[in-house]
Structure 1
Amino acid sequence: MTIWCPDISTASGPIYLAVADALEADIRSGALAIGTKLPPQRELAYQLGVTLGTITRAYREAERRRLLRGETGRGTFVAPAEIEASPLIPREDRAGELDLARNFAFPHLNPDLAKGLARLSRTPGIERLNGFVPSEGLAHHREAGARLFQLFRLSADPSDIAVTCGAQHGIQVLLQALFRQGDAVAVDTFTYPSLLNSAPHLGLKLVPVPMRRGVDGRFLAMDPEALGRVARTEGVRGVFLMPNMHNPTTHTMTLAEREELVQVARLHGLKIIEDDPYTPFVREELPAIGELAPELTASIASISKLLSPGSRIGFVHVPREYGHAVRNLIGESTWMASPITAELVSGWIADGTLKRVLQEKRRANEARFEMTRELLGGGRFEGGPDKVFGWLHLDPETDPGAVEAELRRRGVASLSSRYFQASDRRPAPFMRLCLGSIAGGIEFRTAVTRVAEVLADPRPQARDLPGPVA
């Protein structure tokens, strides 16, 4: 461990920023090499004569700048200059790989783009779409968003909707609109991978909250009592929920589970972000969280998994008091989502293409789920015929990272639990397998068969987990 102690005697402004700036300067100059272990926060605070909270903020700011990485139970280290590309991001050089990792939800069944563009070219007044439009989007595009939200079980007012560049952009905008730097946001112990990176980079602290388990070991919703506890003890200001097809566990909350969480949120004044891009696949129609608590909830609807990831169109529906903030943040980040692709998507929503494609994808997904259960065993594979991915339960002593690596060696991409874990040192014995990214049925069977073969091999012992990966 390096005894690093910067000179901040001449610093002006917040001390935590001075410490972060000194860290960055020493890393850029080579005085702190990649992999160097930094002093514990309490020790550095003592050396500098400042509070522990000041050093905590400094390290957090340095992590936001991608200068440091924390490893649970080991300490804080100078991060590599180049961060390894996330396996969630598609790459052109993966030809021949059997993809069970990325949840693209049957893109080979997406609507004919050439026909959609031909229709678009005949749109009256199309030239307007080639100019600037309001940051929240045109009125008729927001009305299309309201129709889409109906599939997400939400009665949405178009005046409270804004068009975003997909769901991930929507999440970024809502995190900034609803919270301030330093705020704590509750998440499930397993959660959406991109959130594990994006929230800290915005200066937000993620607080993992345990999920309930059924008598059969299957995952249920976030524990409402635990949520109330972290609201009291850790100052949590909001919560991120996926009620209809939790990613990665696949759980669909019951009405009682939704109402319990809403009750806790109301009691503690927690803001809710509801992100559930797979909701239209789920046949059970339960009210959205935004329907149960409209005054607290910002909801996201995305078209990527349903029709067109290439269009990069999503919609957010927010309580009216946050409307101006959302519009401004969209304007500051990208000015506007593309009105051209918003028009393309709006046409597919209006002319019935969305419902037709969704029916085709549902049928394909049912067949894939039954095939997977047959090959892996129904008790092992948590999911359902209307769930576009499954949560694979491994034996407790199995190292999911070793399973992932062996599958990669055999030409199959998968994601172990570490990509979803918001905490814990040991990798939990689970993996997410996606049903729709492989186009061919024969190729899909081959991929799942290889998973079954790897699971039949001797299982390596679990190793310590270096930290959440996104």
Structure 2
Amino acid sequence: MTIWCPDLSPVSGPIYLAVADAIEADIRSGALSVGERLPPQRELAYQLGVTLGTITRAYREAERRRLLRGETGRGTYVAPQEMDVSPLIPREDRLFDLDLARNFAYPHLNPDLSKGLARVARTPGIDRLNGFVPSEGLSSHRETGAQLFDLFGLKADPSNIALTCGAQHGIQILLQALFRPGDTIAVDEFTYPSILNSAPHLGLKLVPISLMQADDGQFLAMDPDALAAAARTQDVKGVFLMPNMHNPTTHTMTLAEREAIVRVARKFGLKIIEDDPYTPFVREHPVALGMLAPELTASIAGISKLISPGSRIGFVHVPRAYGNSVRNLIGESTWMASPITAELIAGWIRDGTLKRTLSVKGEANVQRYEVACKLLGKDSFQGAVDKVFAWLKLEDGVDPAVVEANLAHQGVAALSAKYFQASDRQPRSYMRITLGTIVGEPEFQRALEILVKARRTTEAGRFLSTPVG
């Protein structure tokens, strides 16, 4: 196979940009096709007579432009020019009524919006909410954010809190505030799907770290020894963690597991992003990482999974050194989170609506969990009465994407492990099953019954994946 090698003879200016421009031009002309593997960076650097760092910057720039995608351990490939819409994004036409894929956590039990808006309308000085406010949010809303962080196990300083347009926006802001393009961040081998896309688009490299496993095969926390090894050999700058109700495995880290990670973070100076959208559902959870290592940790508290996804309000709590950076990044991206919807959320926190809603949702989740245990078999998945999703184990060698496709043909949505894997290796034989998105109890039971049959059919060998050689 002929190695791809651009002609840089007429180039003036930075070489890394010229290489990135050449990649883009050859993709547009058809000289490079979707899925084609580019030469290893060291080999291309040798062919062009430039430094390895130059090619590394060029590939990163091409990834930022969404021209390439890197696969850990495999190489760099030409990315599809048209990306499929993520199955996590809801559709207005409600493609799936039997939805076990999207984790919306009982939205039908959210508080009455009309009553909340009526309360906001009676807010003294309401006209101020219709104007520009500081990018970090009004002090009254940040103080209410500190009350919310109490539910996340964090004693937060309101002066170190900023409002964001939802937790997802908070992740984007923290990635930019704490890190620089080219930095490497450690993530769990299974992790939140969004960061797998957003971090590379910001020029950040992700390194998957193995999870420890119990004797019964259930997944535990990130392996601290593996994290330390990555910090030594791959110049890791930080780590993204979900300590409570880890998505997708459901594991809640013990205090010992948290302390082990903090020791590694302190030894190597790793910054920590603590993202825990489901924490208030968890009945018992140890102290937040932001309490164990406040100088290293930026924490996120979201509202969407708890009470109001439509408000698009989230909160971040950061070490004081990053406060100005966070404020500036919010200002540059959206100027500010909406003070109108921030007041809506603040009122629900102050008057106890949030806690009452969580109680009602918690009771509903107990019932759904019992149904899942009965139909799926308690030993077949990782989860608990206070976990709003389950991590379903399939037989070894079964391709979960086949089960996912089989379910889709029968009107049931579910997510295979591939959406959560931090590397593009053979998909692991797991699926995430959400408990709270389907509204009715009969519909939820019907979806699980279809899942049981689809799994049984697949595991019987009729839809086995090709064995890994």
TM-score > 0.5 by shorter chain: yes
Q: Does 1:429 align with 2:429?
A: yes
Assess, with a 3 A threshold, how the Cα gap between structure 1 residues 464 and 132 changes in structure 2: closer, same or farther: farther
Q: Does 1:438 align with 2:419?
A: no
Paired amino acid for 1:122: R
SS in 2 for 1:446: helix
In 2, the alpha carbon distance for the partners of 1:93 and 1:452 equals 26
Once the two structures are superposed, residues 22-56 of structure 1 have per-residue CA deviations (whole angstroms, 9 ceiling, x without a partner) of 21123234443444443343432222112334323
Q: Are 2:71 and 2:424, in contact at CA under 8 Å, matched by a contact in 1?
A: no
Q: Does 1:264 align with 2:267?
A: no
Residue matched to 2:455: 455
SS in 2 for 1:431: strand
Once the two structures are superposed, residues 288-317 of structure 1 have per-residue CA deviations (whole angstroms, 9 ceiling, x without a partner) of 000111111000000000110000000000
Once the two structures are superposed, residues 148-176 of structure 1 have per-residue CA deviations (whole angstroms, 9 ceiling, x without a partner) of 00000000000000000001100010011
Residue matched to 1:281: 281
Stretch moving more, 451-460 or 202-211: 451-460
Q: Are 1:274 and 1:300, in contact at CA under 8 Å, matched by a contact in 2?
A: yes
Residue matched to 2:314: 314
Residue matched to 1:212: 212
In 2, the alpha carbon distance for the partners of 1:427 and 1:351 equals 46
Stretch moving more, 243-252 or 22-31: 22-31
Question: Identity of paired residues, percent?
Answer: 72
Paired amino acid for 2:94: R
Residue matched to 1:147: 147
Once the two structures are superposed, residues 53-105 of structure 1 have per-residue CA deviations (whole angstroms, 9 ceiling, x without a partner) of 43233223212211123456765433332111110111123345311001000
Once the two structures are superposed, residues 354-378 of structure 1 have per-residue CA deviations (whole angstroms, 9 ceiling, x without a partner) of 0010000000011101101110001
SS in 2 for 1:391: strand
Q: Are 1:199 and 1:206, in contact at CA under 8 Å, matched by a contact in 2?
A: yes
Q: Are 1:427 and 1:463, in contact at CA under 8 Å, matched by a contact in 2?
A: no
Q: What are structure 1's unaligned runs of at least 5 residues?
A: 466-470
Assess, with a 3 A threshold, how the Cα gap between structure 1 residues 271 and 71 changes in structure 2: closer, same or farther: closer
Stretch moving more, 422-431 or 28-37: 28-37
SS in 2 for 1:208: strand
In 2, the alpha carbon distance for the partners of 1:273 and 1:298 equals 5
Paired amino acid for 1:211: L
Residue matched to 1:384: 384
1:455 to partner: Cα distance: 1.3
Q: Does 1:93 align with 2:93?
A: yes
Residue matched to 2:60: 60
Residue matched to 1:192: 192
Residue matched to 1:125: 125
Q: Are 2:398 and 2:465, in contact at CA under 8 Å, matched by a contact in 1?
A: yes
Assess, with a 3 A threshold, how the Cα gap between structure 1 residues 167 and 463 changes in structure 2: closer, same or farther: farther
Residue matched to 1:236: 236
Residue matched to 2:28: 28
In 2, the alpha carbon distance for the partners of 1:373 and 1:129 equals 47
Paired amino acid for 1:394: L
1:3 to partner: Cα distance: 4.3
Residue matched to 1:418: 418
In 2, the alpha carbon distance for the partners of 1:163 and 1:12 equals 44
Residue matched to 1:468: none
Residue matched to 2:77: 77
Once the two structures are superposed, residues 435-466 of structure 1 have per-residue CA deviations (whole angstroms, 9 ceiling, x without a partner) of 1110111100011111110111124333589x
Residue matched to 1:6: 6
SS in 2 for 1:372: helix
Paired amino acid for 2:331: G
Q: Are 2:96 and 2:413, in contact at CA under 8 Å, matched by a contact in 1?
A: no
Residue matched to 2:335: 335
Paired amino acid for 2:465: A
SS in 1 for 2:243: coil
In 2, the alpha carbon distance for the partners of 1:274 and 1:16 equals 34
Once the two structures are superposed, residues 392-431 of structure 1 have per-residue CA deviations (whole angstroms, 9 ceiling, x without a partner) of 0111121111111111111111111110101252111111
Residue matched to 1:355: 355
In 2, the alpha carbon distance for the partners of 1:220 and 1:374 equals 24
Residue matched to 2:253: 253
In 1, the alpha carbon distance for the partners of 2:55 and 2:193 equals 27
RMSD: 1.7
1:131 to partner: Cα distance: 0.8
Q: Are 1:221 and 1:253, in contact at CA under 8 Å, matched by a contact in 2?
A: yes
Stretch moving more, 438-447 or 74-83: 74-83
In 2, the alpha carbon distance for the partners of 1:239 and 1:71 equals 19
1:197 to partner: Cα distance: 0.6
In 2, the alpha carbon distance for the partners of 1:151 and 1:191 equals 23
Q: Are 2:252 and 2:285, in contact at CA under 8 Å, matched by a contact in 1?
A: no
